[in-house]
Amino acid sequence: MKTAYTADQIRGAERALMALLPEGTLMQRAATGLAAVCADLLGRVYGRRIVLLVGSGDNGGDALYAGERLARRGAWVGAVLAGSKTHEAGLRALLDAGGRVVEPPELDRADLIIDGLVGIGASGALREPYARLAETANAAPGPVVAVDVPSGADASTGQVAGAAVRARVTVTMGAYKTGLLVDPGASVAGDVRLIDIGLGEHLPDPDVAALTGGDVDALMPRPGAESDKYRRGVLGVAAGGDQFTGAAVLAVGGALRAGAGMVRYAGREGPVAQVRAHWPEAVVTPLDEPVIDHVGRVQAWVLGPGLGTDDWAHELAARVLGSGVPVLVDADALTLVARDPGLLRRDAPVLLTPHAGELARLIRAERDDIEAARLEHVRRAAAELGATVLLKGSTTVVAEDARPVRVNLTGTSWLATGGTGDVLAGVAGALLAQGLSCYDAASCGAYLHGLAGRLAADGAPLAAADVATAVPAAIRAVTSATS
């Protein structure tokens, strides 16, 4: 599992380690790792032009010492001193190695730029001259390597309040920072490289975590010798209406592809015909009235994709949420819950899967505020609503009260197309029916859905049905190592 930490957590671990080491050891370790990554990116160091953006803090010192190492390997290294003060020993080391102090126009001639303007403790918008230097570096032809976190991105939240450096590579020291995994910070961090400086045992419980393929493999349900379709998990799907029949087809397809032993679909006549035509494996129950007593036993429900928001849909939602099994609430059902929060007063687990606009309605917030501070709002939603919350978007995050937020690192921007959320609901719902908790079903479902999107797209546009088709390949990709 990839774990990440806030700035305060990192600083606490650094203080504990520094108390055991000679002064300056951590900075030298960081500079060595930074210089190695820069050399690897350049390919050839001798004769290359490198410009350092040096602020007042320790990141500026890291940049100076890394510049010293690169200068000793034959690079031309210049430092733009932007702070009110400069790390004196680092600057002296750079100058002794043949480096020099330069002005910002040198950025346009650089083969590589090292961003050491601000450190992990910075928050809010960059001040001048840092903001102007960040924009100048972004416009320069050479790639940018950020030290620890791109200047302008909040290390603890991923928020970007104004100008920010857009890095090709971010070299982060000791442990991943939360803001490197969550947009918009993640979108300006580029390829994140972790340098081990020895923090390990001094780190506390993580702020956020991201599942790896191995983690998903360990959590995935597998049929055994005694398995039958009922023991493998029966999922009920209450989705689709006269207007959005396809949502039911996609949700059922995602569930079947994700390994549910049986899918029981219940809905109005229009989507019933479509589900029958596309998925003969599903057990279909037409609903003349919004009741589920005759649908049959299920281990979990998916409620909402394309369902509608009229009185009929509200009554069906009340019946499903009145059952004693876990329920995944998506799409139109989220609108119903936002109008009638009493629907969530239940003892059984609930998994909510909103996008930012839907979450805004659920917790009475502004959509733009949610997009700018995803972690803050998903945590708030989980606490206020008493549910597990999967917030969809450029960074999908899963929150459950009193647990680390899980961040999904798979996926592709090609998934931003209609219907893919319905497939995700089916995939996560199937995992719920197979016995995973809401927290694990949401995390594994997001991982597999994102990976399926990558496999289906392969660098080109995709349709939601393509994602459902690729789910078995995504499962094979994470389970093949031990199957």
Write down the domain spans for the chain: 2-207, 213-479
Would you call 285 exposed, middle or buried from its count of C-beta atoms within 10 A (0-12, 13-18, 19+)? middle
- If you average pLDDT over residues 180-208, what whole number do you get? 96
pLDDT at residue number 464: 96
Instruction: Say whether the peptide bond before residue 404 is cis (omega within 30 degrees of 0).
Output: no
pTM equals 0.93
Q: Output the average pLDDT for the chain.
A: 95
Cβ atoms < 10 Å from Cβ of 84:
7
Mean pLDDT of 225-243: 84
Q: Which residue has the tokens 């009493």?
A: 342
Binding site as annotated, residues: 58-62, 115, 119-125, 130, 148, 151, 247, 306, 355, 392-396, 421-422
Contacts of 52 (CB under 8 A, 6+ apart): 63, 64, 66, 67, 77, 78, 79, 80, 94, 113, 114, 116
pLDDT of residue 437: 98
How far from chain centre, in Å, is Cα 381? Answer: 17
At residue 280, what is the residue type? P
Stronger pLDDT, 226 or 182, i.e. the higher one: 182
State how far the Cα of 285 lies from the Cα of 273, in Å rounded to an integer: 10
- What per-residue confidence (pLDDT) applies to 482? 47
CATH topology of domain 2-207: Rossmann fold (3.40.50)
Q: In what order do the strands lie in the sheet with 176-177?
A: 176-177, 2-5, 208-210, 405-407, 397-399, 388-391, 350-352, 327-329, 300-303, 234-238, 262-267, 283-286
Distance, in Å, from the CA atom of 261 to the CA atom of 149, rounded to the nearest integer, reads: 45
Average pLDDT of the segment spanning 321-347: 97
Binding site membership for K(+): which residues? 59, 115, 151
pLDDT digits (tens, 9 = 90+) for 97-116: 999 999 999 999 999 999 99
pLDDT at 432: 98
pLDDT at 228: 66
Q: What is the 3-state secondary structure (H, E, C) of 111-151?
A: CEEEEECCCCCCCCCCCCCHHHHHHHHHHCCCCEEEECCCC
DSSP state of 193: E
- For domain 213-479, the CATH superfamily is Ribokinase (3.40.1190.20)
Annotated binding residues for AMP:
392-396, 421
Judged by average pLDDT, the poorest of 47-56, 130-139, 223-232, 303-312 is 223-232
Examine the pLDDT at 386 and tell me if it is beyond 60. Answer: yes
Residue range 441-468: mean pLDDT, rounded: 96
Point out the annotated binding site for (6S)-NADPHX: 58-62, 119-125, 130, 148, 247, 306, 355, 422
What is the structure's pLDDT at 222? 85
pLDDT of 428 above 90: yes
The continuous run of DSSP H or E covering 170 comes out as: strand 169-173
pLDDT above 90: residue 192: yes
Instruction: Tell me the mean pLDDT in the region 416-444.
Output: 97
pLDDT digits (tens, 9 = 90+) for 145-186: 999 999 999 999 999 999 999 999 999 999 999 999 999 999
Q: 225 pLDDT band (50/70/90 cuts)? A: low
Q: Is 161 helix (H, G, I), strand (E, B) or coil?
A: coil
**CA-wise closest residue to 425 among 281, 253, 261:** 253
Judge whether residue 483 has pLDDT over 70.
Answer: no
